[in-house]
């Protein structure tokens, strides 16, 4: 399991109070619209936690709904930003 995946699982589990459910997420697991816990306020919190945990800063134009479409799309966003 990649470090990015581990950290993202921890962030989602903690902020959304998923009680360990995030550990079973695959890249295809739908997030936005599929997880009732992931509302617009939670998205803001997740972005903040990602920025803090990974030492990243996202511009307003770097994140949209497709970024949160699935676990894999969110992980890919983080990985691409880390590789910039």
- 35 CA to centre of own chain: 12
- C-beta of residue 84 within 8 angstroms of C-beta of residue 76: no
Write down the pTM of the prediction: 0.93
Q: What is the pLDDT of residues 23-38, one digit of tens each?
A: 999 999 999 999 999 9
What is the phi/psi pair of residue 51, to 5°? Answer: -60, -45
- Percent of residues, the chain, with pLDDT higher than 90: 95
Q: Give the total number of structural domains in the chain.
A: 1
Q: What is the pLDDT of residue 77?
A: 96
Q: What is the CATH number of the domain that holds 52?
A: 1.10.1200.10
Task: Copy the structure tokens of residue 9.
Answer: 């699982």
Domain range for 53: 3-82
CA geometry: angle at 67 spanning 31 and 73, to 5°?
70
- C-beta of residue 50 within 8 angstroms of C-beta of residue 78: yes
């Amino acid at each position: 399991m990649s470090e990015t995946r581990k950290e993202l699982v921890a962030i989602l589990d903690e902020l959304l109070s998923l009680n360990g459910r995030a550990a079973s997420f695959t890249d295809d697991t739908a997030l936005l619209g599929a997880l009732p816990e992931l509302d617009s306020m939670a998205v803001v919190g997740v972005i903040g936690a990602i920025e803090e945990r990974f030492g990243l800063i996202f511009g307003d134009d770097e994140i949209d709904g497709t970024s949160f479409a699935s676990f894999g799309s969110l992980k890919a966003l983080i990985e691409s930003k880390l590789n910039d």
